[in-house]
Amino acid sequence: MVPEPAVTAAPSCACCTEPAVAYQPASRRHLCRTHLISDVEERVAKTIRETGQVHAGDRIAVALSGGKDSTALLLILSRLFNEQQDVSLIAITVDEGIAGYRTETVRAAQDLTRELGVEHHIIPFSALAGADLDTLLVGREKQACTVCGILRRKALMDAARAACATKIATGHNLDDEAESVFMNVLRGDLPRLIRDTGAGSGDCFLPRIKPLADISEKEIASYLFVQGRFAILPECPYTRYALRAEVRSILSSLEYRYPGTMRHLIESKEKIAKYCAGARAPGTLNRCRECGDPCSGEICQVCRLRHSLGH
Amino acid sequence: MRIVLPDQTLRKVAHGPCSVNEVLLSLGINPLEVIVSRNGILVPEGTLVSADDEIRIIRIAHGG
């Protein structure tokens, strides 16, 4: 069962005498505003350093939806690399065209990039798929996340390449990573479970990095809130169709009752990937016969999707 | 105590000093899925809250 933090009128920071704003179950420490901010930023820097995610000369395309995770990501990376002349940042926002949802987050992304002075590219779905997501999904709403995911990855990759980026950084946090492991296990999808998207693939795919992978969703929200940057934004209307929403709820409940569950899942995935490394068959990478993009079969996922959508 | 719920609705409860964690559990909310402010300041779940406090519960998990 959960080791609850001690109850006091106002807990103090473990590092100073200021009142605490957050409790970290992993370290069993209370932290004040200042130490929470520095702790999160130092852990992101550590993840980048230890996993060799960024090198001199990198031009990093930050996938900026305008939601909390990507907002925190751009904010932290811009602080970490502010004085580093040999690493540059750009931001890419994919506008799927989801009524009542995307407009506000795109505006938040524009405000943030303007404030930070980061080059910003907004890519509408219609430019890629001929229509916005709402139109593409009429009568097939349950496939929303699959359709959106395929097209969004393609839009992001194309825009990053066009902007001469060397890497794509996404705001996946600890919770997201644990959810992905759990979902891949539920689907029995071993190849996806052990796939290393950080390595890239020759000249075909840009490496994807996840600097927030060690930070929990709650820590990210707290990090933004204490800086006055946590905005309550609308939820994607298609979330209710997603397996991820159910997995999120299950894992969150397990994490509360059995702290460490999410980290254990991620560690399991890393162990499995390690065991499989030697046995992994080197997949042949072809070029899509229709668009020329790299793919494992004859036609890439995007072209297959375009066909199924009648385009 | 005035409690602003994640959907912005307001609830007034009479019970006296208790921890934020207890407030959340009494409302059926998983503390990992929200952050909580007391009178506008973010507080950890172990904080005691009293009858004259305003507690705001903010949901953090969003799909998309």
Domain residue extents for chain B: 2-59
Q: Using CA coordinates, name the residue in chain B closest to A31.
A: B44
**Is A246 touching B (CB cutoff 8 A)?**
no
CB A226 within 8 A of CB B37: no
Across chain A, mean pLDDT equals 89
- The answer to whether B36 and B64 have CB atoms below 8 angstroms apart is no
Beta-carbon contacts of A132 under 8 Å, excluding residues fewer than 6 positions away, are A96, A97, A98, A124, A125, A126
**Confidence band of A267 (pLDDT split at 50, 70, 90):** very high
Is A23–B46 a contact, with Cβ atoms under 8 angstroms apart?
A: yes
pTM of the model: 0.91
Would you call B63 and A9 a contact, using CB atoms and an 8 Å cutoff? no
User: What are the residues facing A88 on neighbouring strands?
Assistant: A59
How do the domains of chain A map onto residue ranges? Answer: 49-279, 281-311
Q: Is the dihedral of CA A106, A112, A114, A120 positive or negative?
A: negative
Decide: A85 and A58 in contact? Cβ < 8 Å: no
Distance CA A211, CA A230 (A): 19
Interface test with B, best of A2, A21, A233, A258 (most B CBs within 10 A): A21
Kindly identify which residue of chain B lies nearest to residue A96, measuring between CA atoms.
B64
pLDDT digits (tens, 9 = 90+) for A252-263: 999 999 999 999
The ipTM of this complex is 0.95
Torsion angle of the four alpha carbons A49, A53, A59, A63, in this order, in degrees rounded to the nearest 10: -110
Contact across the interface for B44 and A65, Cβ inside 8 Å: no
- A170: tokens are 């996404």
**A49-279 falls under which CATH superfamily?**
HUPs (3.40.50.620)
The pLDDT of residue A279 is 67
CA angle at B55 for the pair B50 and B58, rounded to the nearest 5°:
155
How many Å apart are CA A70 and CA A155, to the nearest integer?
17
pLDDT of A281 over the 80 cut: no
CB contact under 8 A, B44 and A30: yes
Q: What is the pLDDT of residue B14?
A: 76
Q: What is the pLDDT of residue A309?
A: 76
Amino acid code (one letter) for A87: V
Residues 6+ away with beta carbon under 8 Å from A251: A175, A178, A179, A182, A261, A262, A265
More confident call, A102 vs A14: A14
Residue A188 region, left (φ>0) first, then alpha (ψ -120 to 50), else beta? left
B2-59 folds as: Ubiquitin-like (UB roll) (3.10.20)
Q: Counting Cβ atoms within 10 Å, is residue B8 exposed (0-12), middle (13-18) or buried (19+)?
A: exposed
pLDDT tens for A103-147 read 889 999 999 999 999 999 999 988 887 888 888 888 888 888 888
**A258 dihedral zone (left: phi>0; alpha: psi -120 to 50; beta):** beta
User: Which 63-92 residues of chain A touch chain B by CB within 8 A?
Assistant: 65, 67-68
Cβ contact, residue pair B58, A239, below 8 Å: no
Give, in degrees to the nearest 5, the angle at Cα A226 between A63 and A246: 55
CA distance B60 to chain A (A): 6
Is A253 in the B-facing interface, judged by CB distances under 8 Å? yes
Q: So what's the pLDDT on residue A204?
A: 60
CA nearest to A238, candidates A126, A143, A128: A143
Question: A41 pLDDT exceeds 60?
Answer: yes
pLDDT, greater one: A158 or A292: A158
* pLDDT above 70 as % of chain A: 93
pLDDT tens across A137-152, in order? 888 888 888 889 999 9
Give the per-residue pLDDT at B64.
46
Q: Are the C-beta atoms of residues A90 and A121 closer than 8 Å to each other? A: yes
Q: Do A236 and B63 touch (CB under 8 A)?
A: yes
Q: Compute the distance between CA of residue B40 and CA of residue B54 in angstroms, rounded to an integer.
A: 8
Residue A1: per-residue pLDDT: 53
CB A171 within 8 A of CB A63: yes
pLDDT above 70: residue B62: no
CB nearest B46 (choices: A6, A225, A245): A6
Residue A20 has pLDDT above 60, yes or no: yes
Query: What pLDDT score does A222 carry?
Result: 98
CB contacts, 8 Å: B31 with chain A: 256
Name which of A19, A222, A245 is nearest B35 (Cβ-Cβ).
A222
DSSP secondary structure code for residue B13 in this structure: -
Read off φ and ψ for residue B54, nearest 5 degrees.
-110, 125
Res A196 pLDDT > 80: no
Phi then psi for residue A246, to 5 deg, are -70, -40
Q: Which two tokens stand for residue B52?
A: 């004259």
Residue A208, helix vs strand vs coil: strand
